[in-house]
Structure 1
Amino acid sequence: MNFSKLVFPGATMIAVTYGLARFSFGLLLPEINQTLNMSELVSGLISSLFYLAYCFTIILSTVITTREGPRRMILSAGLSAFIGLLFMCISSNVWVLALGVLLAGGSTGLVSPPYGAAIAFWIKEGEQGRANTWINSGTSFGIALSGLGAILLTPHWRLTYLIYATLACLIFLWNFQVIPKEETSSAQLRFKKGNLTIRGVKGSIPLSLASLTLGVSTAAFWTFSRSFIEITGDYSEWQLSGFWVIIGLFGVLGGFSGSLIERRGLRFSYTLGSLSIGSASTILAVTSENWLLSYLAAGIFGCSYIFLTGVLLVWGIRVFITNASLGIGVPFLLLAVGQVLGSIIAGWFIGTWGYIPSFTLYGLIGMVASLMGPNKN
């Protein structure tokens, strides 16, 4: 299959599931809270459903993709994002909203493993690293678009979700047309269906520890960075949303991780990304009142996060060489588990110590993660 024929619809599907269906919620939450009269406890519980749905569906998707191939799960992800966004648009109470959040959040777990398998099936082996990282960078486009949506349409959150649902439907139809029904492949790499074991797989333990630690280290920034600058700095609404847009726009640069891996190796790329992700939290810890330096931290975080997920993706596929879906499912699942744990701990740290010490600590965790990289390039 032609490189762009798979990568373009793949990147847009990732943009919809991760950027619009998942990450846009935090930006629109204040208006949703006001409309539905939700308490902070209720909104926090509903927000946690994104992570719970992701952890469940990425396991489900890995199993089904391994048994049946990628097409069914890719289309399920698009359908789940569309229906979830539609439920969120029409939600008249917290129960309908929670159902929408479950479906929208679940789409992110459904979509990642099958695209790794699709690339293994239909993209030439020498182009697979670039294809994986560019599809993965679709998250950045989605985050940037959700930030722009927050700036332009924040008071009209139902209209925002209706627009997102329409986009999700169109991209679902695009993928429906593009993804082949048969798993004939010209690529040299193919995974063995039914092989789900990680026991005894060389390199799986370092990959798992690194993914879990990086998940913890990024949790504070994803969950509390916007609240941090809002509390400590004098920011307008458009500047707060602009902070999110910067994360997304600079995240696009993370798509070049595949090229850097080819030139400098996997170990160098992982170390660079880990140190960068740690520096982003550290910079924000000491410069949150300065919008220019805060935006710099946002840019570093966005670029290094997408860059690192691309590195983990390539690393995982190299470790689980016979099963591309498992190679994506394992590190992405543990990344999410780390974010769940990291968010809970960060909330307690911030309540006890405050934002600055907490973000400094999380920056150090990211730097410690740089010591857990792959042994080989």
Structure 2
Amino acid sequence: MKFSSLVLPGVSMIAVTYGLARFSFGLLLPEINESLEMTEFISGMISSLFYLAYCFTIILSTVITTREGPRRMIITAGISAFAGLLLMSISPNAWMLALGVLFAGGSTGLASPSYGAAISLWIQDDKQGKANTWINSGTSFGIVLSGVGSYVLTPNWRLTYLIYAILTFLILIWNYRAIPKVRKNSHAMFQKGNLSIRGIKGAIPLVLASLILGISTAAFWTFSRSFMEVAGEYSDWHVYGFWVVIGLFGVLGGFSGSLIERWGLSVAYKLGSLSIASASIILSFTPVNRLVPYISAGIFGCSYIFLTGVLLVWGIRVFIANASLGISIPFLLLAVGQVLGSLFAGLFIGIWGYVNSFILYGFVGLAANLIGPKKEYGRERS
């Protein structure tokens, strides 16, 4: 199978599931809060449902993908994203919004392990690392699209979500046509039912790092735009430009595979975790200087996609017997951390304010820098 035949529809599906169905929520949240009369605490709880649904579906996807191959879960991811966005677009209250969030958030967990397995089946070994990191960077393209779309369509967040749903449906059709069935490829070696945890001792740092990084990034994804609005006189163009910067710089994270090969996994992780922690701390200075949010956005966008690429490669190298499991474990723990981080972020902001809360989450990210892959992982093939 050609590299582009799998990677391009994969990038597109990740863009709509992660960028539009999941992370665009934080960008549209102020309008949603005003329309549905939700408090910061309620919006934080609803935001945590994205990650909670992700935790459930990434386990489900790993099990089914291991048994049956990736096609079914990839298609189901598109259906789930479409349903979630559609429900969110017609939400008359917080309850239906929460239901839409569950479907939208669940789509991301369905997609990630499936594409990891698809790449292991149909992409040549020497190109698999590049394919994984570029599909992962689809999140950035989705974030850019959500930023531009939200600016053009604002303040009608319902129409925005409806257009996202239509786009998701079209990409679902593309993937339905592009992803082959396992039985049609007799050369593809796929071990059904293999959920090996070979290398579990090396997974402990991976689990801890993913969990802490998830906690540290939750506040940024959910409340960074709200912080800008209360911190200074930013126009709509400035606010949506902030979101576009996150996505544009996130595209640079697609080069994580090449940098891992050059520097080693350990160095790449240290650099990424230090950068993402600094982004939250820098954002806390938003009331001081109007350029600060954009500096923070660039660092956060690049380092988040870069780090998820690092975690992806790290996971595959630890769980060497099963690629989908190697992807699902770090991404699952990243989501668990984001559940916890989102739940407490709204509470902390209500008590301590935005500045102190973002500084706190930045220091949580610094704690993740103390944990990382062993140096020998950096010289192994993914």
Q: TM-score if structure 2 supplies the norm length?
A: 0.92
* Offset, 1:238: 2.0
Whether the 8 Å contact between 1:82 and 1:104 is mirrored in structure 2 is yes
**Unaligned stretches of 5+ residues in structure 2:** none
Q: What is the rounded CA distance, in whole Å, between the counterparts of 1:120 and 1:25 in structure 2?
A: 32
CA contact (8 A) 1:123 1:186 kept: no
CA offsets 1:268-312 (integer angstroms, 9 cap, x no match): 111110111111112122344322122011100000000000010
| Match of residue 15 from structure 1 | 15
Q: Give the match for residue 334 of structure 1.
A: 333
Distance in 2, matches of 1:43 and 1:214, equals 21
Deviates more, 1:88-97 or 1:235-244: 88-97
Alignment of structure 1 residues 277-296 onto 2, 5 Å: 277-296=276-295
CA contact (8 A) 1:246 1:298 kept: yes
**In the alignment, which residue of structure 1 is the partner of 2:352?**
353
- 2:365 aligned with 1:366: yes
* Equivalent position of 2:272 in the other structure: 273
Larger deviation, residues 339-348 vs 47-56: 339-348
Residues in 2 aligned to 1:125 and 1:199: alpha-carbon distance in whole angstroms: 20
TM superposition shift of 1:324 = 0.8
2:2 counterpart residue number = 2
Q: CA deviation at 1:38?
A: 4.5
Change (3 A) 1:293 1:45: closer
1:322 corresponds to: 321
Matched, 1:156 2:156: yes
- TM-score, normalised with respect to structure 1: 0.93
Q: CA deviation at 1:230?
A: 2.0
| Identical-residue share of aligned pairs (%) | 73
The answer to whether the Cα contact below 8 Å between 1:86 and 1:100 also exists between their aligned partners in 2 is: yes
CA contact (8 A) 1:122 1:186 kept: no
Deviation of 1:369 (Å):
1.4
Q: Which residue of 1 aligns with 2:111?
A: 111
Structure 1 window deviating more from structure 2 (351-360 vs 77-86): it is 351-360
Against the structure 1 CA distance between its residues 356 and 30, is the aligned structure 2 distance closer, same or farther, given a 3 Å change threshold?
closer
The CA deviation at 1:208 is 0.6
Change (3 A) 1:165 1:133: same
Aligned match of 1:126: 126
> What are the within-5 Å matches in structure 2 for residues 209-224 of structure 1?
209-224=208-223
Q: Aligned equivalents of 2:99 and 2:286: distance in 1?
A: 38
Q: Is the 8 A contact 2:36 2:92 kept in 1?
A: yes
- Matched residue, 2:168: 168
Structure 1 pair 357–49 and aligned structure 2 pair: CA distance change class (3 A): closer
- Measured after TM superposition, the shift of residue 258 of structure 1 is 0.7
- Alpha-carbon shift at residue 222 of structure 1 (Å): 1.6
**2:275 and 2:303 in contact (8 A); partners too:** yes
Q: Is the 8 A contact 2:119 2:131 kept in 1?
A: yes
Q: Partners of 1:342 and 1:39 in 2: how far apart? A: 17
Q: What is the match of residue 245 of structure 1?
A: 244
For residues 317 and 243 of structure 2, the distance between their equivalents in structure 1, rounded to whole angstroms, comes to 32
Q: 1:121/1:288 Cα in 2 relative to 1: closer, same or farther (>3 Å)?
A: farther
**CA RMSD, aligned part only?**
2.0
Question: Aligned residue for 1:344?
Answer: 343
Cα deviations by residue, 1:231-266 (Å, 9 ceiling, x for unpaired): 222211221122111111111110000111111111
Shift of 1:27: 2.2
The residue that corresponds to 2:310 in the other structure is: 311
| Equivalent residue number for residue 64 of structure 1 | 64
The answer to whether the 8 Å contact 1:234/1:289 transfers is no
The verdict on how the C-alpha distance between 1:352 and 1:185 changes in structure 2, with shifts beyond 3 A counting, is: farther
Q: Report the 3-state secondary structure (helix = DSSP H, G, I; strand = E; otherwise coil) of the residue aligned with 2:304.
A: helix
CA separation of 1:28 and 1:373: change in aligned 2, threshold 3 A: same
Structure 1 gaps, min length 5: none
Name the amino acid aligned to 1:130: K
Are the structure 2 counterparts of residues 191 and 350 from structure 1 closer, same or farther at C-alpha, using a change threshold of 3 Å?
Answer: farther
> Aligned AA for 2:321?
T
SS in 1 for 2:66: helix
- 1:135 equivalent to 2:135? Answer yes
**Distance of aligned partners of 1:41 and 1:208 in 2 relative to their CA distance in 1, 3 Å threshold:** closer
- How far apart are 1:197 and its partner, in Å? 4.7
- Alpha-carbon distance between aligned partners in 1 of 2:340 and 2:39, rounded to the nearest angstrom: 22
Q: 2:224 maps to what in 1?
A: 225
CA contact (8 A) 2:249 2:299 kept: yes
Q: What aligned pairs does 1:84-95 form with structure 2 within 5 A after superposition?
A: 84-95=84-95
Count of equivalent residues: 375
Greater Cα offset, 95-104 or 57-66 = 95-104
Decide whether aligned partners of structure 1 residues 308 and 352 sit closer, same or farther in structure 2, where only a CA change above 3 A counts. Answer: same
In 1: Cα distance, 2:159 partner to 2:346 partner: 31
The offset of 1:36, in angstroms, is 4.0
The residue number in structure 2 matching 1:179 is 179
What's the CA shift for 1:141?
0.7
